[in-house]
Structure formats: C-alpha cells, structure tokens
Amino acid sequence: MNSSPHASRASEPPPSHQDSLIERIIEWSARNKFMVFMMVGALTLAGVYAMRHTPLDAIPDLSDVQVIVFTQWEGRSPNLVEDQITYPIVTKLISAPRVKVVRGYSFFGYSFVYAVFDDGTDIYWARSRVLEYMQGLTGNLPPGVTPVLGPDATGVGWGFQYALVDKSGRHDLADLRSFQDWHLRYWI
C-alpha cells in the first residue's frame, strides 16, 4: 500500500461528468453571442434610465415630518407659560389628523410645541393643518399672545452658520456674545 496522498487520488475513479449550471450558462452564452449582446445592451440602457430618473439625495432626510409652533410671552415664568400657552396648544394639536406625537417645552417667556406627523405626510399639508387648528385657540390664549409657526425645514435642515458682526464698532466681543446667548439664540 502506498501512503502518499497523491497516489490514492490517482487510483480513484474520475468523478462522473455532470454539467453544472455555470457550465451550461457559459456554453449557452458561447452559442448565442447575439442574444448575450442584446441582453447586455438592454441592461445597460435600463441602468442609464434608472440613474437619470431616480431621485438621489446626498444626505437622505430620515427625520420625521414636524411642525414647530413658537409662542412668546415676555416676562412670564415657565410654569405660567406651561399652563396658559403650552398646554392649550398641545391639547389642541394632539387631535389633528396624522399627528403621531406632540411635545411641548416651556421656558422663561416663551414656548415651543413640536407636532410630529406620521411618515409620508406632506410637510405643507401638515403646516396647513397646524395653522387650521391654531385658529381655534384665539380665545384660549392670553391677550397679546400670538403663536407663530417655525421655519419650513426638516430636522436634517436645521444646521446652519451665521456671523454676528457689529459694523458700527460700538460693541465689544463680550457684548456680542451676551446678545447671542440671551436673545438671538432663542429667535433662531
């Protein structure tokens, strides 16, 4: 007996020759060159068509459709803003169609209410529903308080840069920073 692995392979009978799927595809392709050329051309045209007609986004917007309601009531405590402004707005907007969740935040002198809508809701339709439901609040809010819709943007579009420049030269950097921290950031 030979203990060499090569010798044992030589003594085994060759495997039965059955065409695999790949071998049959290669043989068919070699016999039907024109059909292969036509299929490659059709797939290329379909790919070019798909590239031109598929909307592509560099940064896809995966955020929820949301509408922000900003209300200002100068000089009031967060508890008073919550009771008089935020709560009535939240309870009104929660009944709007396609609203998934409503979140309200109360601060010193102002309120933010976020109405988040179901996926697939058109942003302009959502904004018009919020405006429609806000019309019913005119008698329930304190006098002189007017809710305002936030900018027409999605959660992805909120990042931006700005420069606060004093062209008159009357304010130093500390004054500009103070204005930024105490006034401007709430408006943005």
pLDDT (tens digit, 9 = 90+) per residue, 32-77? 999 999 999 999 999 999 989 888 766 666 778 899 999 999 889 9
What are the residues facing 21 on neighbouring strands?
none
**CATH number assigned to the domain covering 61-152:** 3.30.70.1430
Q: Which tokens in the block code for residue 76?
A: 């009031």
Residue 29: what residue type? S
Using a 10 angstrom Cβ sphere, with 0-12 exposed, 13-18 middle and 19 or more buried, the burial of residue 96 is middle
Q: Quick count: other Cβ atoms within 10 Å of Cβ 121?
A: 19
Selected residue with higher pLDDT from 20 and 6? 20
The model carries a pTM of 0.55
What is the DSSP pairing of strand 65-72 with strand 148-149? antiparallel
Distance CA 130, CA 96 (A): 7
DSSP-derived secondary structure for 71-129: EE-TT--HHHHIIIIIHHHHHHHTTSTTEEEEEEEEETTEEEEEEEEPTT--HHHHHHH
Residue 136's pLDDT is: 84
Across 99-128, average pLDDT: 93
Selected residue with higher pLDDT from 55 and 119? 119
Q: With beta carbons less than 8 A apart as the criterion, state whether 46 and 54 touch.
A: no
